[in-house]
Every structure is written in C-alpha cells, then in structure tokens.
C-alpha cells in the first residue's frame, strides 16, 4: 500500500485533472437542505430520517443517497456507510459527491489508495468540487506530501472559500497565527463546529494561538551536526521494561526522566511538577488517550528553556495534566519533538542519535526518496501519530500505531475477531491517560507482517480501539508496544514519512 501511494502521489496526483463534460445535477428535492443543515449541526439521526424519506419518495435522488452515506459515516456506522456510498457510485457514476463520499468512507477505513482514486474521479468530473480536493489533501498530508496538500487546499479554497470543512483544514496549514485565528473564527461564524464540546475546542484553540501571539516557540539555540543522547531503561518491576526515558531539564531545574513515547506529542507532565518548575500557564485543556474514563483536564504552559542532551529549546509549550500521575510516570516526551532530525532509536545500545536534515526552503515540502531511505517503509502521519501498514494473518493491510509508550502490543477487537479466535482475559490490566480499559481479550496465534519482517504464533491482547480511531480520523487496528519495538533499532524519517526497522537479535540468541 505504501509503495502504491508513493507512486500515485509522485506521479498521478500532480497531474492536472482531466476536463469532463458533466451536466449539472437537478435541483435538490425539498427537504435536503434541511437535512444538510441538521447533519452539519451534529443532529445525525434527524438528518438521516429526512434523507431516507426523500430517497423513498424519489429513488433517483443521488443527493439523498450520498446524504445517507455521510450521515452513517458521521454516526460511526461504517459498514452501512460503505454500502450506501458504493451504491451511490454504482447508480450515479457521473455524480462527483458520490465518488467523494466513497473516498471519505475509505479514508476512515484506512484504505488510502482506493480513497485517492475516488477523489481523483470526483475532480475529473468536476474540477471545482471542493470536498474532493479536501479529501485529496488529507491523503497528501498523511503521506508527508505537505507542499502538495497545501496546493490542494488552495484549490479547494478557491472553489469554496466559505466551506467550513475547507476553512478548518486551511487554518491548520497557515504559517502565521493571525491567519490561523482568522480562519478559525470564520469557521465558527459559519456554524462549522457542533455546539458543545467541538465548539469549545475550537475556541480554546483560538485562545491558545492568541496567547502565544508572535512568540517563536520550540526554537533551537543551535543545531549541532550530530547528537547522541542516552536512553535510560524505565522498569515497571525488576523483570519488566516499562519503556525508555530521556533526561529532560526544564527551566534550569534538575533533569527529570520522561518516558520517550512515539505515540505522544510534545512534552506532557503532571501538575505538581509544573507548579514546582514555575511554568507560565497559557490556556486550560483536555487530553485523551487509552482508557474508558474519558478526557483528563489540564492546561498548556510555557517553559523558557528545555534542555535534552546537547539540545536546547527556547519557549517550549508543555502540556500539563491535572491527573495525579501520568500512567505512573513523571511525564512523557514524544519523538516528534525531534522531527527536524533523522531520529535513530538504538535500543540495544541505549542511545538516541539525531542527525539534522539538509536545509530546506520552508515548512512545506514533499518527500525526497534517496538511496539512504529507499529501503525504509512508508508510514502515515496524523499529527504526532505514526501508523504503519501491517498484514495480520495474511489479510489486507491494516494500520498499527507505533507506540514506545505502550507496555504491550495489542490488536483491536474488531480485527482480532475477523482474524482468529478471541477469548476474555481478566489477567491483563490496560491503563492509559484516560484510565483503565474494562474489557480486555486475548487473540490467539496472530501472524504479523510488516516492513521486511514476519512474526508468527504471536498471542496479543485485544480491546476496543474505536476511541483511538475516532480521535485520529482513520481506522487504527492495533499498536506496536515497547517489547516488540525494543527488538529493533528504529530510524524515523519524519520529513519524508518513512521508517526503518533494523532487527537486533537478543544477546545469546543463535
């Protein structure tokens, strides 16, 4: 899947869309505009009822068929959404929204290659159809083609400057905070956010950006040619590795050992430590992670200096959790803190190596494939999260989160039940930022194929990952935790969206 997407993005996506004669669809039947407004406002069931009533009156209504698919997708009923979207594409092959909604469904399923083909089909039918450009941009962004993603968003914005979804995506790619704030405010004016939690989240984002103003954050005092930083083993008990830590000094205080977490972003610490360090509070915040207890309250704060090995960052934004402990750790540090470097996690030698990339021409760039990274495996990036294509029991590839902060690897209960036998297991306790997971299962005899490796006969714990998938925006089918990842030296190329697994046999093995 990775090679296919890379080839498409390097060749197919950059080609100008073919012009096609596409007759304008008939005026929407009465009631569809109301359904669209309800769906936008988060009243999914009410909108679904209107779409279905319209389709019953007029089975030829392409808009109603697409509306049902969109509503089912918003309701997280993915199997039904797929069926309605597929019927829309088959019944109305010249209708761009049918292809776009099929692309949206496949994107949510984690099937980026087929999704790209549907967005491409929609743009061929109507070069000014903004939702297709928006979907296409999301794929480009996930595959680290940020320059291409920006061009596609510009195309979507020219076609639909007041489309709320386009505005929200556009805001995230603006260089200046003032431009981001303006786009987010316009998004709220247009009713893009659901009233309640989503609207509060956007307003908090605006408050945070306003508090920062023009301050340059996470600036490096200098960029060394190459840096080596020790990795410290953190033990759950004398026999079990919890993870790997980095010594991090914040505001000239003594260094704290923070858990190095590829599944986290930035730096997160507890409120007691933050108070002791005298961090400047910016805005309140909520944090979510693995667990069934919901979001954890906290705030975002500003540290004047953060020193890690030979690196010094100035004006570093730190997330602070009000929870008494962060999974029994002092705090977390995501590897994305070092994404301006080629990151090598050499677990056998207990060290992290950072090699700076050649200077580039700005914040947005497309991958450059060289002899040095050609053998690497493509991953899909969603914010700080890295998703790796993995075959489970020779099935179609699914996406697994690379997470050195997880004590164990796991598989989603959905994929586990499709792949093997699953039984309840009360011996395991799974905890995350959002508390404990109540229903934990064991999946028998899992075979994993990823990158250049295959591992057979691997029993894995299994639990519901739907909250993780919903938060990221695509289907997450499992996690590679620290016991598995520590068998390798990992080389992470954030700039080009690629990772290398270099197997290190355990001492004494043949």
Residue 22 clears pLDDT 80, i.e. is over it: no
> In terms of domains, do 47 and 127 share one?
yes
Residue 225, domain CATH: 2.40.70.10
Q: Are 255 and 248 in contact (CB under 8 A)?
A: yes
For residue 351, is it within any domain? no
- Same domain? For 142 and 158 the reply is yes
Residue 363 within a domain: no
Give the DSSP H/E element, type plus range, for residue 248: strand 240-250
Q: Is residue 289 part of a domain?
A: yes
- Residue 226 resides in a domain: yes
pLDDT score recorded for residue 247: 96
* Closest residue by Cα to residue 102 from 86, 126, 117: 86
The tally of domains found in the chain comes to 3
**Does residue 433 sit within a domain?**
yes
Per residue in 279-309, pLDDT tens? 989 998 876 655 444 567 889 999 999 999 9
463, 380 contact by CB (below 8 A): no
In a domain? residue 327: yes
- pLDDT tens digits for 63-74? 999 999 999 999
User: Looking at the structure, do residues 184 and 128 belong to the same domain, yes or no?
Assistant: yes
Interval 431-486: pLDDT, tens:
555 445 567 878 888 899 999 998 876 788 888 899 899 999 999 999 999 989 99
Q: Are residues 313 and 404 in the same domain?
A: no
Q: Identify whether residues 145 and 293 lie together within a single domain.
A: no
CATH of the domain at 172: 1.25.40.10
Q: What is the DSSP letter of 431?
A: E
Residue predicted with more confidence, 283 or 328: 283
| 433 and 291 Cβ atoms separated by less than 8 Å | yes
Same domain, 467 and 498: yes
Range with the lowest mean pLDDT among 94-108, 161-175, 275-289? 275-289
Q: With respect to residue 315, please indicate whether it lies within any of the assigned structural domains.
A: yes
Nearest to 447 by CA among 406, 482, 478, 483: 478
Lowest mean pLDDT among 154-163, 194-203, 451-460, 466-475: 194-203
Interval 377-434: pLDDT, tens: 999 999 999 999 999 998 999 999 999 999 889 999 899 888 888 777 655 555 555 4
Task: Please list, residue by residue across 480-489, b when 16 or more beta carbons sit within 10 angstroms of its beta carbon and e when fewer do.
Answer: bbbebbbbbb
Query: Do 399 and 297 share a domain, yes or no?
Result: no
In three-state secondary structure terms, 315 is: strand
pLDDT digits (tens, 9 = 90+) for 483-501: 899 999 999 999 999 999 9
Q: Across residues 222-242, what is the average pLDDT?
A: 87
Asked if 326 and 448 sit in the same domain, the reply is no
Q: Which domain holds residue 247?
A: 220-346
State the pLDDT at residue 11.
30
CA distance 443 to 423: 7
Q: Are residues 11 and 142 in the same domain?
A: yes
Write down which residue in 212, 228, 249 finishes a domain. 212
Residues 433 and 460 in one domain: yes
Paired tokens of 417: 């039940």
Q: Give 318 or 444, the one with higher predicted confidence.
A: 318
DSSP three-state, residue 391: strand
Mean of pLDDT over the chain: 86
Question: How confident is residue 260, by pLDDT bands cut at 50, 70 and 90?
Answer: very high
Mean pLDDT of 93-107: 98
Q: Does the residue 370 lie in any domain? A: no
| Alpha carbon distance 443, 417 (integer Å) | 8
When pLDDT is cut at 50, 70 and 90, the band that residue 330 belongs to is: confident
Is pTM beyond 0.85? Reply is: yes
pLDDT at residue 421 in the model: 85
Q: Is the pLDDT of residue 109 over 50?
A: yes
Q: Is the pLDDT of residue 5 over 50?
A: no
Share of the chain above pLDDT 90, in %: 65
**In a shared domain, residues 151 and 232:** no
155: pLDDT confidence band, cut at 50, 70 and 90? very high
Same domain, 166 and 186: yes
Percent of the chain with pLDDT over 70: 86
| Joined tokens for residue 186 | 């316009």
**Chain-centroid distance, C-alpha 282:** 25
Domain final residue, candidates 212, 245, 276 = 212
Answer with the one of 180, 212, 244 that is the final residue of a domain: 212
How high is the pLDDT of residue 431? 55
């Amino acid at each position: 899947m990775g090679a296919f997407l890379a080839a498409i993005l390097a060749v197919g996506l950059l080609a100008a869309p073919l012009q096609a004669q596409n007759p304008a669809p008939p005026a929407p039947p009465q009631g569809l505009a109301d359904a669209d407004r309800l769906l936008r406002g988060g009243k999914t069931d009410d909108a679904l009822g209107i779409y279905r009533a319209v389709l019953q009156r007029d089975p030829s209504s392409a808009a109603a068929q697409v509306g049902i698919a969109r509503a089912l997708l918003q309701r997280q009923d993915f199997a039904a959404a797929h069926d309605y979207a597929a019927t829309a594409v088959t019944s109305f092959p010249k209708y761009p929204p049918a292809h776009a909604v099929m692309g949206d469904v496949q994107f949510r399923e984690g099937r980026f290659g087929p999704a790209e083909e549907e967005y491409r089909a929609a743009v061929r039918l109507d070069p000014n159809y903004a939702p297709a450009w928006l979907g296409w941009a999301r794929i480009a962004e996930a595959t680290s083609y940020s320059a291409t993603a920006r061009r596609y968003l510009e195309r979507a914005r020219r076609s639909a400057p007041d489309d709320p979804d386009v505005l929200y995506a556009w805001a995230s790619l603006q260089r200046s905070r003032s431009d981001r704030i303006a786009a987010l405010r316009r998004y709220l004016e247009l009713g893009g956010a659901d009233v309640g939690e989503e609207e509060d989240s956007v307003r908090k984002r605006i408050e945070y950006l306003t508090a920062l103003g023009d301050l340059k954050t996470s600036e490096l005092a200098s960029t060394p040619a190459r840096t080596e930083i020790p990795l410290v083993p953190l033990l759950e008990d004398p026999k079990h590795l919890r993870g790997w830590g980095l010594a991090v000094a914040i505001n000239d205080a003594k260094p704290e050992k923070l858990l190095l977490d590829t599944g986290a972003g930035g730096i997160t610490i507890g409120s007691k430590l933050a108070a002791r360090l005298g961090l400047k509070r910016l805005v309140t915040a909520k944090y979510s992670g693995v667990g069934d207890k919901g979001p954890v309250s906290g705030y975002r704060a500003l540290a004047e200096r953060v020193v890690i090995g030979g690196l010094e960052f100035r004006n570093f934004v730190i997330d602070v959790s009000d929870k008494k402990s962060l999974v029994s750790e002092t705090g977390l540090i995501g590897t994305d803190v070092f994404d301006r470097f080629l990151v090598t996690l050499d677990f056998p030698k207990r060290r992290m190596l950072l090699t700076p990339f050649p200077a580039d021409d700005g914040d947005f760039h497309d991958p450059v494939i060289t002899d040095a990274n050609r053998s690497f495996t493509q991953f899909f990036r969603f914010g700080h999260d890295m998703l790796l294509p993995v075959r489970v029991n020779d099935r179609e590839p699914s996406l697994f989160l690379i997470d050195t902060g997880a004590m164990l690897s796991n598989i989603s209960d959905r994929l586990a039940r499709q792949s093997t036998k699953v039984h309840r297991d009360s011996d395991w306790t799974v905890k995350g930022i959002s508390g404990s997971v109540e229903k934990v299962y064991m999946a028998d005899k899992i075979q994993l194929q990823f990158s250049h490796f295959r591992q057979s006969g691997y029993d894995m714990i299994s639990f519901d990952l739907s909250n993780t998938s919903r938060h990221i925006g695509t289907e997450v089918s499992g996690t590679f935790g620290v016991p598995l990842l520590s068998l390798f030296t990992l080389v992470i190329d954030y700039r080009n969206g690629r990772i290398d697994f270099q197997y290190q046999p355990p001492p004494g093995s043949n």
